[in-house]
Amino acid sequence: MSYQATNQKLILPGATIGIIGGGQLGRLTALAAAAMGYKTHIYTPDPDSPASQVATMTTVGGFENFAALEAFADQVDVATFEFENIPADCVEQIASRTPVRPWPSILQIAQNRLREKDFLRSLAIPTAPYACVCSAAELKAALKDIGLPAILKTNRMGYDGKGQVRLDLHTNLEDAWARLQTSEAILEGFVELATEISVIVARNIDGETLCYPIAENKHQNQILVETIAPARILPKLAGEAFQMAEQIASATDLVGILAVEMFVTLDGRLLVNELAPRPHNSGHWTLDACTTSQFEQLVRAICGLPLGEVRVHSRAIMRNLIGVGEERWQHLFFEKDAKVYLYGKSEVLPDRKMGHVTWLSPLEEELVITSVDHHNPPPIITPAPVNPTGNLMVGSLVTPSTSNVTPFIKRV
Ligand code: AMP
């Protein structure tokens, strides 16, 4: 697409990008936008948000403050969001005065786990078995189909494992239902996981679509703790994952970035777990290991620019700094190969993501990761084949051997 053809839709540097939400994803987007010459305006209820510390302007306001939302909309050339749980009427208010990208309709899907799963089913994309549950009696009835173990999740406002209860043979179902404090939930069959992966797909206003290499994700207490990229999965599985992500991006007419979280089952199948129509924690490695980070890509997509190359130049391991103060990250600044990002959050809370750190190694080098359980050594990655487009890099899984590799990463 030529510059002339896309010109009508272009939002050029010098313009102001509005970001709804003030967390670390907004912060990293604002930094990428600033590097490209854009101004940013954050809308957040938080008077000292991570994003507003690095943005051009901030409006501190609640999501129900329509006068403030309108004033914000009138001051920006395009708006985007950095989390999906924004009240729908708030986004509609902004969209009535300025373009919002991705289209707000995607939030209707991503805000509600049941709608998300129904949407995936409508595309014939596999998920864990699930059922809609609105009472303890319905829970008992649904378990007859879904079986135990299972996970009961609130339909709305769940993230980082919040709003979830695991059910097994010993669970008192009345108590479990009461604990969730909701009137609308989804019951999911518990999936035995070989691993978890995510695909970040970018799509611009002309429908140009690119996937980042797949990331492999490790969770503790349902919170992402570590991402390894490119993921150690077989090329066939990677191909299926890309196809699903592209299908979802096209079906939602995505303009922006979408993370598709997937389970890899023990028998080698892919099940889509969740969609996040914004930059994603499992894509932070792209800041240091890709030609275009997920944050720059979001800016490019929503401003009508062509997408940037997503070529990978290094292998990466990213670890989150969760609930830790300076005593746990100071030493990282003395590690010359550690790329440390802190989000400017003053208060340390137990599950709070305070920052992240990424280590890189050359693509052609074998890699062993000593940051994970030593009693259960991870597989070693062989040099990854590059597909003809140069975009996709997929490592093949080989049996671990500890004798011929050098430790690459220290425990955080
Ligand atoms: P979620 O909030 O749905 O993203 O879940 C957070 C994490 O909980 C996932 O990344 C998985 O590690 C785990 N999890 C969620 N749902 C399931 C499931 N149906 N089976 C097994 N593990 C799950």
- For the segment 322-373, what is each residue's pLDDT rounded down to a tens digit? 999 888 889 999 988 899 999 999 999 999 999 999 999 998 875 554 443 3
Decide whether any atom of ligand 1 lies within 6 Å of the 127 Cβ: no
* pLDDT tens digits, one per residue of 56-100: 999 999 999 999 999 999 999 999 999 998 998 899 999 999 999
Q: Supply the pLDDT for residue 80.
A: 98
| Residue 180 CA, ligand 1 centroid: distance in Å | 16
- Residue carrying the six token digits 């507003």: 52
Q: Is the pLDDT of residue 193 over 50?
A: yes
Q: Supply the pLDDT for residue 190.
A: 97
| Residue 189 CA, ligand 1 centroid: distance in Å | 10
Which residues contact residue 207 at a Cβ distance below 8 angstroms, ignoring those fewer than 6 apart?
250
Decide whether any atom of ligand 1 lies within 6 Å of the 163 Cβ: no
| Residue 315 CA, ligand 1 centroid: distance in Å | 26
Q: Name which residue sits closest to atom 18 of ligand 1, judged by CA.
A: 190
Q: What is the 3-state secondary structure (H, E, C) of 12-76?
A: CECEEEEEECCCHHHHHHHHHHHHCCCEEEEEECCCCCCCCCCCCEEEECCCCCHHHHHHHHHCC
User: Which listed CATH number (3.90.1150.10, 3.30.565.10, 3.40.50.300, 3.30.470.20) goes with 193-398?
Assistant: 3.30.470.20
**Residue type for position 257:** I
CA distance 211 to 245: 8
Q: Is the pLDDT of residue 275 over 90?
A: yes
Decide whether any atom of ligand 1 lies within 6 Å of the 146 Cβ: no
Q: Give the chain's mean pLDDT.
A: 87
| Banded model confidence at residue 160, pLDDT cuts 50, 70, 90 | low
Q: Are 304 and 204 contacting, i.e. CB atoms less than 8 angstroms apart?
A: yes
CA distance 277 to 104: 10
Q: Supply the pLDDT for residue 328.
A: 85
Q: Are 86 and 43 contacting, i.e. CB atoms less than 8 angstroms apart?
A: no
Q: Name which residue sits closest to atom 11 of ligand 1, judged by CA.
A: 222
Q: Which helix (H) or strand (E) holds 31?
A: helix 24-35
Q: Supply the pLDDT for residue 152.
A: 96
CATH class name, domain 3-100: alpha beta
Q: Supply the pLDDT for residue 8.
A: 55
Q: Supply the pLDDT for residue 377.
A: 35
Q: Is the pLDDT of residue 395 over 50?
A: no
Handedness of CA 290, 294, 296, 301 (dihedral sign): positive
**Residue type for position 125:** I
Q: Supply the pLDDT for residue 162.
A: 72
Q: Name which residue sits closest to atom 9 of ligand 1, judged by CA.
A: 222
CA distance 310 to 292: 5
This prediction's pTM: 0.88
Annotated domain spans of the chain: 3-100, 129-189, 193-398
**Lookup: tokens for 286:** 């792209």
CA distance 44 to 59: 6
Decide whether any atom of ligand 1 lies within 6 Å of the 161 Cβ: yes
For the CA of 190, the closest atom of ligand 1 is 20
DSSP labels, 232-299? ---HHHHHHHHHHHHHHHHHTT--EEEEEEEEEETTS-EEEEEEESS--GGGTTHHHHBSS-HHHHHH
Q: Are 80 and 19 contacting, i.e. CB atoms less than 8 angstroms apart?
A: yes
Q: Supply the pLDDT for residue 336.
A: 87
Q: Supply the pLDDT for residue 9.
A: 79
Mean pLDDT along residues 40-60: 98
Q: Name which residue sits closest to atom 1 of ligand 1, judged by CA.
A: 161
Q: Supply the pLDDT for residue 167.
A: 97
For the CA of 191, the closest atom of ligand 1 is 20
| Residue 41 CA, ligand 1 centroid: distance in Å | 34
Q: Which helix (H) or strand (E) holds 166?
A: strand 164-167
Rg (C-alpha) for the chain, rounded Å, is 21
Decide whether any atom of ligand 1 lies within 6 Å of the 45 Cβ: no
- From 263, 272, 275, the mutation candidate for ligand 1 (largest count of ligand atoms within 8 A of CB) is 263
Q: Is the pLDDT of residue 387 over 60?
A: no
For the CA of 113, the closest atom of ligand 1 is 3
Q: Is the pLDDT of residue 289 over 80?
A: yes
Decide whether any atom of ligand 1 lies within 6 Å of the 191 Cβ: yes
Length of the chain: 412
Decide whether any atom of ligand 1 lies within 6 Å of the 224 Cβ: no
- From 273, 281, 320, the mutation candidate for ligand 1 (largest count of ligand atoms within 8 A of CB) is 273
Q: Name which residue sits closest to atom 7 of ligand 1, judged by CA.
A: 222
CA distance 239 to 248: 14
Strand partners, 264: 195, 270
Q: Supply the pLDDT for residue 383.
A: 34
Q: Which helix (H) or strand (E) holds 180?
A: helix 173-180
- Residue carrying the six token digits 């062993």: 368
CA distance 221 to 159: 12
For the CA of 189, the closest atom of ligand 1 is 19
For residue 85, count other CB atoms closer than 10 A to its CB. 14
Residue closest to 298 by CA, chosen among 3, 16, 27, 33 = 33
Q: Supply the pLDDT for residue 157.
A: 78
| Residue 281 CA, ligand 1 centroid: distance in Å | 15
Q: Is the pLDDT of residue 389 over 60?
A: no
| Residue 85 CA, ligand 1 centroid: distance in Å | 18
Q: Are 25 and 55 contacting, i.e. CB atoms less than 8 angstroms apart?
A: no
* Architecture of the domain whose range is 129-189: 2-Layer Sandwich (3.30)
Q: Supply the pLDDT for residue 327.
A: 86
> Is-cis flag, bond preceding 102, omega within 30?
yes
| Residue 222 CA, ligand 1 centroid: distance in Å | 6
Handedness of CA 110, 25, 395, 263 (dihedral sign): negative
* pLDDT tens digits, one per residue of 198-222: 999 999 999 999 999 999 999 998 8
Instruction: Choose the weakest-confidence range: 69-73, 100-104, 127-131, 371-375.
Output: 371-375
Mean pLDDT along residues 261-290: 97
Q: Is the pLDDT of residue 111 over 90?
A: yes
Phi, psi of 347 (to 5 degrees): -100, 125
